Amino acid sequence: MTQNSLISATKANCLYWLGRYEERVYITLHLLRKCYDKMIDGELEDYSLLWTRLDVNGVYQSSEEFTFGMMYDEDNIASVMAAQVKAKDNAILLREDIMSETLSYLEMSVALMKECKERREMNVTALQPVIDWSLAFWGSAEQRLRNHKALYIMMIGRNVENLDMLLRFDYPYERVALAYDSLKRYLRQISTIVDDHIEGQLNSLIIGERFNLNDVEYKNKLLKFINQLVRV
């Protein structure tokens, strides 16, 4: 790898959002799989809770609309399809950096989702290859990106998205603290894109004695700071 190559602001933005969108694909599919399983098992209360948190704007009026929309609705940025298309679009702009082999995993995912959408496939397990290709994408990117900084920015985006989703779905302190530690390891590699004031605020909030996601004001403050932490 070329460790110290300069990265333009435009490229840094693409790398960051590629990381975020691809992690959104992976996590949303995982949550939809849990949601689908609960619906099949008749655990309607747990299913409704997942539905409410994924469909934050109340777009969908039935379980069928919700499942189909969260899988394929390109107008809903929270959907798997929308996030995967956004990831692919950013990856195309970065083709020379991540190389065609890495990009191909995202292209295969979009092609499969379009095929499933066309036949109105409602079984979330049909998109299992998308999860597999997402993991393969990260492995390929790590092997082929020649610039350390580019990989770190992608991983920062990935970790920010993971932390954002953990907070939205009220994961316990141990999981959130572990995810934040993972994010900070990458932030230390490229401190120039970090808002130091906001990082200080997060450091004071993500501690065991203060952690309480039942406090709406506290939770919203965390989400706000997480999404303002990186300047790209």
What is the C-alpha separation between 163 and 171, in angstroms, rounded? 10
Please state the φ and ψ torsions of residue 230, each to the nearest 5 degrees.
Answer: -105, 130
Q: How do residues 20-54 score in pLDDT, each as one tens digit? A: 999 999 999 998 888 777 667 666 566 667 767 77
What is the C-alpha separation between 94 and 177, in angstroms, rounded? 31
User: Which of the pair, 130 or 43, is modelled with greater confidence?
Assistant: 130
**What does the pLDDT read at residue 1?**
47
What is the C-alpha separation between 113 and 142, in angstroms, rounded? 25
Quick one: tokens of 158? 């990935």
Indicate if the pLDDT at residue 96 is higher than 60: yes
User: In percent, how much of the chain has pLDDT > 70?
Assistant: 91
What is the C-alpha separation between 36 and 30, in angstroms, rounded? 10
**What does the pLDDT read at residue 53?**
75
Matching residue, tokens 């919700």: 66
**What does the pLDDT read at residue 42?**
65
**What does the pLDDT read at residue 154?**
97
Residues 11/17/22/28 CA torsion (nearest 10 deg): 180
**Contact criterion met (CB below 8 Å) for 102 and 141:** yes
> Domain locations in the chain?
9-228
What is the C-alpha separation between 165 and 144, in angstroms, rounded? 28
Residue 223: Cβ within 10 Å count: 14
